[in-house]
Amino acid sequence: MGRKKGQQSGRLFAFVAVMLALIGFGILSMTVFFNIEKVEITGSSNYTSEEIMKASGIKDGDNLIRTNLTKTAAKIEKELVYVGKAQLKRVFPSTLVITITPAKAAANFITKKDTMVISDTGKILEIFDEPRASLMNFYGTAPAPGLLAGDVFTSGDAKKDQTIFTLLDFFQHEGKEDRLSARIIDGITLVDVTNRSDLVAIYDNRITIMLGNVTNITYNFKVLGTIIFNQSNSSVVFDETTEGTLTKLNDSWSFRYKEDIEQGEKQYRENLKIYEERKAEEKAAAESELAEIEGTAETSSEDGDSEEDDSGDEDSSHDESGDEDDEDVPPAETHEMLE
């Protein structure tokens, strides 16, 4: 019995000793051990090691375990605009490795006020008065007020933001994996996202592409590549001078030549002009008819007034005649005197 209790006491003592040792080691590792003695910065960057260290806020002697890697990486990305991604890794006992991936300018977001240069991850790199050359131009992004360089772009409309970021990611990554899609993307100069359900892209400044929405964007661009580069059964033969509009229908694409569109617009303007002239003629005729009716009514009213005046004159004459008869009769006072 006593032997059994002794074994239990021994186990408890051993457990307590181990726990105390772990606690002590934990305290020492976060205070004395594993302090940062060396920081290695790898990857390409527009910034010096000193600038990256300053942005991180890390100092020699900071504890390696207590350093929050996620927050430190976010701080570097925020402070240094052209850092696309910062990754931090602990290498025990005393080294911190910081790997920098530079931000890549992907597009100009053009507004009435200025132009935001946006990275492939949606980060605002710079704000200029004019678009940067050689970048794809986005219109209709409607940025939220108060955005600055270093911020992640937002329009305040979560669904529009999702559409914009889907396009950016596709143009920079997945779209480049297909040879024909990549050729289309490289030739796109303008994307209009004003209506996220009716996206428009301009290819080579001569073909307008009515994309619809971003659903099946990968498949749609593959089909576009086969159409524009004449690898489909399309009845239209495209060359470097072809101009017109490609429109995404339910399960197919429709193409109209620029000449046909311009002729249609010209015919529409002519028809509109004829319609407006006809409406103006009808309006003038209606106004003329109304004026004639009002003039007839006014004449009738004047004739009526004239008859009433004539009748009034006769009554007046009759009254005057009566007055003359009354003058032949002496006043009552005179009549009494005669009697």
268 is in which domain, residue-wise? Answer: 263-339
* CATH number reported for the structural domain that contains residue 133 in this entry: 3.40.50
Residues 246 and 313 in one domain: no
Q: At what angle do helices 179-187 and 217-228 cross, to 10 degrees?
A: 80
The fraction of the chain above a pLDDT of 90, given in percent, is 60
In a domain? residue 332: yes
Residues 133 and 214 in one domain: yes
Residues 244 and 278 in one domain: no
Residues 121 and 231 in one domain: yes
Q: What is the reported pLDDT for 295? A: 78
Q: What is the reported pLDDT for 45? A: 81
Residues 125 and 233 in one domain: yes
Residues 159 and 117 in one domain: yes
pLDDT digits (tens, 9 = 90+) for 295-318: 777 676 666 655 555 555 555 444
**CA pair distance 210, 192, nearest whole angstrom:** 10
Residues 80 and 128 in one domain: no
* CATH number reported for the structural domain that contains residue 50 in this entry: 3.10.20.310
Q: pLDDT class for 324, splitting at 50, 70, 90?
A: very low
- The pLDDT of residue 19 is above 70: no
Residues 95 and 205 in one domain: no
Residues 93 and 177 in one domain: no
Q: pLDDT class for 3, splitting at 50, 70, 90?
A: low
- Inter-residue contact 220 to 175 (CB < 8 Å): no
pLDDT digits (tens, 9 = 90+) for 213-267: 999 999 999 999 999 998 887 788 899 999 999 999 988 999 999 888 877 878 8
pLDDT digits (tens, 9 = 90+) for 263-291: 787 888 888 888 898 889 889 989 888 88
In a domain? residue 3: no
Q: What is the reported pLDDT for 5? A: 55
Q: pLDDT class for 30, splitting at 50, 70, 90?
A: very low
Q: What is the reported pLDDT for 266? A: 80
**CA pair distance 131, 115, nearest whole angstrom:** 6
Residues 279 and 247 in one domain: no
Q: What is the reported pLDDT for 226? A: 94
Residues 81 and 156 in one domain: no
Q: How many domains does the chain have?
A: 3
Sheet holding 95-102, edge to edge: 38-42, 95-102, 83-91
- The pLDDT of residue 114 is above 60: yes
The last residue of one of the domains, among 42, 76, 102, is 102
Q: pLDDT class for 17, splitting at 50, 70, 90?
A: low
Q: pLDDT class for 28, splitting at 50, 70, 90?
A: very low
**CA pair distance 312, 314, nearest whole angstrom:** 5
Residues 125 and 246 in one domain: yes
The last residue of one of the domains, among 62, 85, 102, is 102
In a domain? residue 256: no
Torsion angle of the four alpha carbons 311, 315, 320, 322, in this order, in degrees rounded to the nearest 10: 150
In a domain? residue 57: yes
